[in-house]
Amino acid sequence: MAAEWRSDVLGTSQVRIRSVDGDVAGAGFLVAADLVCTCAHVVEEAFDLPAPVNEAPGGSVNLDFPLLSARPSARASVVSWRHGGADVALLRLDRPVEGARPAGLVDGTAVWKHPFRVFGYPNGADHGVWVLGTLRAGMAAGLLQMEAHLPGPRVTEGFSGSPVWDDARGGVVGMTIAAHRGESTAYLLPSADLIDEHTMPARCPFQGLEPFTEEQSEFFHGRDADTTRVMAALQQRPVVLVVGPSGCGKSSLIRAGVLSRLRDESVSASELRPVPGTRATSVLARALTDVLEPGLGEIGSPAPRAAPPAPSWSTRPATTSAG
């Protein structure tokens, strides 16, 4: 499991699941780019099933991402079904959702007194409510106890399927399963019990000599300060150059750090890379011309120039630029 240390990803992963009548059935969250985790009983309510079922229901579930600015909607079908003690369902989205990002799972053991936050949809609050509290310890049933801070909102019906964010560990420690009616005590299923490895095989977080990509941003750590510096520079000027010797981590910083952070903030971003036979500066110049001089036209645009033959000792370009 990998942690995502920026808590804003909790908002970009949060899902609201609706019934066939359009009512809110419960919550869920992205655990992969196209995979939603929720409670099996939430899916049953979404399908308006009269009683618990042992096999995954067919058809599609309607859902949306309420904490994204555009509130995009989608449909998803059940690909993993574990009813009973686990009460977990995994849903496959019918299409990628722009701006949505999976939340990283962290270890759900030894979390006594860790602060948590959780977002759910109690009765009469379809827009959602945040609850803050303190994590306790595991129980004989395999669940983890949590206590909401009073006075304040409590975990109630409508929170089922919500990811529980551990502020101390910086990731999702588990999924809300149940709550005591009228009390501050609720229960979550630890993160280790959420993933069906047949549906979502474990991924290796180590890249070796290969650079990190946006899709591997959840594994990219230790460069937060550099990412923040580039983000601050982008807010102050239209062009920012990231320069350094080959192999120092420029591509990983731009892709898994800067581009990932930009998309978290709902900023549109594109990646341009040099092509064989064309100078990197020409590719960049043509791309920037369309942005900085949109009325220049084809005649005034810089023409691409072929790169000179590369000597036998040449390596890949040592400069990476992102716009």
Q: Decide if pLDDT at 170 tops 80.
A: yes
188-232: pLDDT as tens digits: 999 999 987 776 665 656 666 778 887 777 677 778 889 899 989
Residue 82 pLDDT level (bands cut at 50, 70, 90): confident
Q: What are all long-range contacts of 286-291, with beta carbons under 8 Å and residues at least 24 apart?
A: 287/323, 288/239, 288/323, 291/238, 291/323
pLDDT digits (tens, 9 = 90+) for 118-143: 999 999 899 999 999 999 999 888 89
3-state secondary structure of 184: coil
pLDDT bucket at 31, cuts 50 / 70 / 90:
very high
pTM exceeding 0.95 = no
109 has a pLDDT exceeding 60: yes
pLDDT digits (tens, 9 = 90+) for 283-311: 777 777 776 776 665 555 555 555 455 44
